[in-house]
């Protein structure tokens, strides 16, 4: 018997069937959510070498492009075949990455751990000195007892929070080292995967284009590939530029703090450099705990540190950052704050780093789609026209 889909009741029955099936699947998914999460985690663990390899390939591609565009493009290397140039570029890339990793493990990591352990051990002494200083200040101000108690309680909460963060840094570093050691096989396989990806990166891109053209019409395929190219440029420029910018700020902070003979120079420089990767709010996220760490040692030095970090961030925001990054994000401060908070909630620190460029990509895709629909309707695309 042939079903007449134009019949009103047949259509209603089909929609009702689909709704019932969807409801059953949703109920089964919610009731077995723990099993589903476990299966997803197992699947991600299985793909971990490829995730590591893809991430390494994406990051190391910046170095490879530098060698191929700036060094191997000279006349001296013009006679070499393309495969030979790629091989030399890969060799130089992985040698560079190995040297950076070795220098970090050999010189930075031990001093970083020693600084954290020394800070944790000296906290009781610092707290006693800081308590004496704050009590002297309160006595000189002649504040009412209830205000003194309120300030003392809030200050104690802030100190407890900072102590918790600092105390947790040691086990975090230890867990990272243990995790890296236990995943050594996955890391080795990931490095091999990254080499294969970088060797044939143009082939993988061509394969992706082939799939898009096979699944979409020519117009939609060109539109999709244009958005993918813009998204990759936005993300790669942001990540590469931010890493370079943060490295420069970390090194600059290290030298300036060394000149001013600040305590825990390496630890604070690493905090400032790493948090500088976070857009817009990174300087505050790194500067506040660093200032409190110095405050434990000397309030005067903490005040000087705040002045120094403001000057450094002004240099970064007005000179270094624009030169390296330009307008690579292209979204307002409101959307930066929104994307930071949402991404941090779901992905922690990694979300704070990549959340903004990911949202910028999503924003640009939605913007392109909306503007394309407006053009087809003969309507203006400028937002100001709709005010």
Considering 59-68, 238-247, 312-321, the range whose residues carry the highest mean pLDDT is 59-68
Mean pLDDT of 32-49: 78
Q: Are 249 and 272 in contact (CB under 8 A)?
A: yes
d(CA 250, CA 242) in angstroms, rounded, equals 12
Q: pLDDT (tens digit, 9 = 90+) per residue, 177-218?
A: 666 665 788 888 889 999 999 998 889 889 989 998 998 888
Identify the pLDDT of residue 176. Answer: 59
Identify the pLDDT of residue 192. Answer: 92
d(CA 79, CA 81) in angstroms, rounded, equals 7
Residue 173 pLDDT exceeds 60:
no
- Two tokens, residue 42: 């197992």
Residue 95 pLDDT exceeds 90:
yes
pTM: 0.68
DSSP assignment letter at 263: S
What confidence tier does 348 reach under pLDDT thresholds 50, 70, 90? confident
In a domain, 313, yes or no: no
Identify the pLDDT of residue 166. Answer: 60
- From residue 46, give the alpha-carbon distance in Å to each of 41, 175, 259: 9, 21, 49
In a domain, 104, yes or no: no
d(CA 77, CA 82) in angstroms, rounded, equals 10
Q: What are phi and psi of 281, to 5 degrees?
A: -100, 0
Q: pLDDT (tens digit, 9 = 90+) per residue, 229-248?
A: 877 887 877 887 888 888 88
In a domain, 152, yes or no: no
Best CA proximity match to 357, nearest among 345, 347, 343: 343
In a domain, 36, yes or no: yes
Q: pLDDT (tens digit, 9 = 90+) per residue, 13-40?
A: 777 778 888 888 777 777 777 777 777 7
What confidence tier does 1 reach under pLDDT thresholds 50, 70, 90? very low
What confidence tier does 339 reach under pLDDT thresholds 50, 70, 90? confident
Considering 118-127, 266-275, 284-293, the range whose residues carry the highest mean pLDDT is 266-275
Please count the structural domains in the chain.
Answer: 1
Domain hosting 17: range is 1-43
Best CA proximity match to 279, nearest among 344, 341, 352: 352
The percent of residues above 70 in pLDDT, for the chain, comes to: 78
Identify the pLDDT of residue 296. Answer: 75
Residue 353 pLDDT exceeds 80:
no
In a domain, 249, yes or no: no
Identify the pLDDT of residue 99. Answer: 92
Q: Please, how many CA atoms are within 13 Å of residue 129, restricted to the half-sphere of its CB?
A: 11
Helix ranges (DSSP H) in the chain: 8-31, 33-46, 48-66, 82-103, 109-141, 145-182, 184-199, 201-215, 218-259, 265-275, 282-297, 299-315, 321-324, 333-376
Q: pLDDT (tens digit, 9 = 90+) per residue, 154-172?
A: 666 766 666 666 666 556 5
Sole residue written with tokens 């950076």? 100
In a domain, 345, yes or no: no
In a domain, 1, yes or no: yes
Residue 94 pLDDT exceeds 90:
yes
In a domain, 25, yes or no: yes
More confidently predicted of 45 and 142: 45
Q: Are 297 and 290 in contact (CB under 8 A)?
A: no
Please, what is the average pLDDT of the chain? Answer: 78
- Two tokens, residue 163: 């102590």
Q: Are 112 and 254 in contact (CB under 8 A)?
A: no
Best CA proximity match to 264, nearest among 371, 119, 77, 364: 119
d(CA 19, CA 16) in angstroms, rounded, equals 5
Left if phi > 0, otherwise alpha if psi is -120 to 50, otherwise beta: which for 2?
Answer: beta
């Amino acid at each position: 018997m042939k079903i007449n889909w134009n019949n009103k009741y047949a259509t209603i029955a089909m929609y009702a069937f689909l709704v019932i099936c969807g409801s059953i699947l949703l109920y089964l998914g919610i009731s077995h959510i723990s099993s589903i999460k476990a299966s997803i985690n197992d699947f991600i663990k299985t793909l971990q070498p490829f995730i590591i390899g893809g991430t390494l390939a994406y990051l190391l591609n910046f170095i490879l492009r530098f060698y191929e565009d700036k060094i191997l493009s000279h006349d001296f290397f013009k006679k070499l075949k393309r495969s030979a140039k790629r091989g030399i570029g890969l060799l130089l890339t992985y040698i560079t990455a190995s040297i950076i990793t070795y220098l970090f493990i050999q010189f930075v990591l031990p001093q970083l751990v020693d600084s954290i352990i020394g800070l944790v051990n000296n906290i009781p002494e610092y707290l006693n000195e800081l308590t004496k200083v704050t009590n002297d200040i309160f006595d000189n101000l002649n504040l009412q007892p209830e205000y003194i108690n309120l300030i003392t309680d809030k200050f104690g909460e802030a100190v407890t929070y900072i102590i918790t963060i600092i105390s947790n840094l040691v086990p975090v570093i230890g867990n990272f080292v243990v995790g890296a050691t236990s995943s050594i096989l996955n890391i080795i396989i990931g490095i091999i995967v990254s080499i294969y990806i970088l060797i044939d990166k143009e082939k993988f891109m061509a394969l992706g284009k082939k799939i898009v053209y096979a699944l979409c019409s020519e117009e939609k395929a060109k539109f999709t590939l244009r958005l993918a190219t813009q998204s990759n440029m936005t993300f790669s420029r942001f990540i590469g530029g931010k890493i370079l910018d943060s490295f420069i700020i970390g090194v600059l902070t290290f030298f300036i703090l060394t000149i001013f003979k600040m305590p825990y120079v390496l630890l604070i420089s690493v905090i400032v450099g790493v948090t500088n990767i976070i857009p817009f709010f990174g300087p505050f996220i790194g500067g506040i705990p660093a200032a409190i760490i110095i405050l434990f040692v000397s309030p005067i030095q903490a005040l000087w540190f705040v002045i120094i970090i403001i000057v450094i961030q002004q240099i970064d925001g007005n000179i270094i950052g624009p030169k390296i990054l330009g307008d690579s994000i292209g979204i307002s401060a409101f959307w930066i704050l929104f994307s930071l908070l949402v991404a941090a909630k779901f992905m922690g620190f990694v979300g704070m780093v990549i959340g903004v460029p990911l949202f910028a990509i999503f924003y640009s895709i939605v913007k392109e789609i909306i503007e394309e629909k407006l053009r087809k309707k003969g309507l203006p695309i400028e937002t100001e026209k709709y005010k």
